[in-house]
Chains A and B, each alone.
Chain A
Amino acid sequence: MRYLPLTEADRAAMLKTIGVSSIDALFAEVPAAARLDGLLDLPLAQGEIEVERAISHMAERNIVAGSVPFFIGGGAYRHHVPAAVDHLIQRGEFLTSYTPYQPEISQGTLQYLFEFQTQVALLTSMEVANASLYDGATACAEAVMMANRVTGRKRAVLSGGLHPHYRDVCATYAEFVGFDVVATDPQPGEDESLGQLIDNTTSCVVVQSPDFWGELSDQSELARLCHEKGALLVVVVTEILSLGAVKPPGEMGADIVAAEGQSLGNALNFGGPYLGLFASRDKFVRQMPGRLVGETVDAEGRRGWVLTLSTREQHIRRERATSNICTNSGLCALAFTIHLALLGESGFVRLARLNHAAAVRLAERIERLPAVRLVNHSFFNEFTVRLPCPAAPVVEALAQKRVLGGIPISRLYPDRPELADLLLVAATETATEDDMDRFEQALREVLP
């Protein structure tokens, strides 16, 4: 077996050194009834050629996003990732190291996480960011629980414009961790009047920007209403690239920002692994979940970085920790950091403009189709359209024509017939004019 260096001679010599006659002696503590004597009913070892063939065969049964006109978003976005990103994250020193518990020999990881925290704080215009969480949805649930800790309250108001998976994750945590959520109905294009739902038991209001439908709105007034009642404003961002074009949450009064960072550096990967971004006001830092990297000096006075404020964490506090989280998304955070380092100020802003421009062009084309109506008043790179018929069969028919043309809202809200005609469509810098032509043409053929 190519990954196992011990030879039979090694094994025999080692058993002799240990002073036992066979490997079974080392498993003597296992109850006899639970010992497996033979092999399990699974295939035997295979070489690289066979394994590659088997898994490639599965891969070939999927329609690759990059091989067709592709207009799907909904919290996961297809962007071009520069070649340097994947090259660098595959350096073994990054790929095969552990959490940087030994800072003297982990400065590489610690320094990039410090750079990552700084980048996240800059993008969101918040004061402090952590070293990442699992994904945007879990970051959102962690934000609510942090708001509960900060305010000493247990009731969160969730916007109807929050991604339905994020709403569902919050609801699951609420049930088992023990807090209340008030979720308003999903109503694209409508004013939610969330302010009316805030009272002095509300820990936070959670809104998404751009929201799930792609709509943009100013949260400043909502922030004021939250703060008036002692609640926090949590702003969720599922398309972090939008912050290259749109006013950041920190400038609209957000107290906590929970975001999905997949767009930068990370492939679609059928939904994971992704990258939870988490930022807040400085004064709440000791209530934050997850790892934090801080600057310090070594015994010779040289600048260096360490994991810090770990007294919040489970390995120190055990049942009194702020969160049970241990692992983060380190390598995804590295990909994000490298991609953003390559983009820099001008590249990030231009990439955002390219995305917005692509979506504007696509919206103009789709609006020209008979009986199709744009639901949004504004958008970044994603918007919702109302079709003259249920969207799910349309999307399926488009797929038959090898066009991946958006998400039917019914996939996420199957029990809401009023949303069945809605289609969520995204366009990024990867969409060409030809892709848009083919999408438009296919829609003309498929729509009644």
Chain B
Amino acid sequence: MAESRVAAPADSGRRRGLTAYVLMAPAVIVLGLFFVIPFYSLVAASLYDPGGSDKAGWDVTYHFANYWEAIKLYKGQLLRSLLYGGAATLICLVLGYVLAYAIAFKSGRWKSLLLVLVIVPFFTSFLVRTLSWQLILADDGWVVDALQFVHILGQDDKLLATDFAVIMGLAYNFLPFMVLPLFASIDKIDPRLIEASSDLYSNPITGFFKVTWPLSLPGVVSGTLLTFIPATGDYINAELLGNTETTVIGKVIQLQATNANHPHIAAALSMILMFLIVAMVLVYVRRVGTEELL
């Protein structure tokens, strides 16, 4: 009895180490097969000899000029994607923050129901939801008619097939990705801290910026990342709600990889987009300094 009790700590320590590896194994295997290997082939494709073809085959010739070629041809679409993604993220942040704050602090017993309602749009396909926006924003639809009637829109103005429609579509589609992490962060804030700030001479506005906002930053960071990254890569909204002038980088990549049969350009563009996003995220996280937060 006594012996086994003495031996227990060391033994359970070793057991715990082994358990950790066993628990990690499935994820490591899945990521290895479905992330590392495809990523490797993406890097390889971006360095193909541009003279190749499906028939003749593609050779990895470390042709870094693919990158310059891709940037030269499609920098407009790259920039447009980042702008659309950024604008949609900003709109989501403002709308999502107000919504998450209201659900966390003001909804009382309706809290769970409201959270479910935030997720409800996910029950329908992304594509169907975006297509129905086409109907809503259509030139002869009731939204445009109403806005023309109150003279917010002129008789020749329209909503569908504009930058505005693309950005609103993105904001609509990715809003739940913003709301959920924001809610998780705001809901954790102890309301007594807000009382304390009020007791210490903060009016509601100062109290918000000195206490609520900084404490919700982890949610702000994860929410903006979860919105910005997929919104920047998305091309369904630009395709369905935009026009020929709203082509985004995702669409270019798709066309280059399939119809145009330029896998090296598609791969190089994917790599560039990824580098840009990673760089921006690093700067962003560093600036906000979330590691300082709890």
Q: Tell me whether A and B are bound partners.
A: no
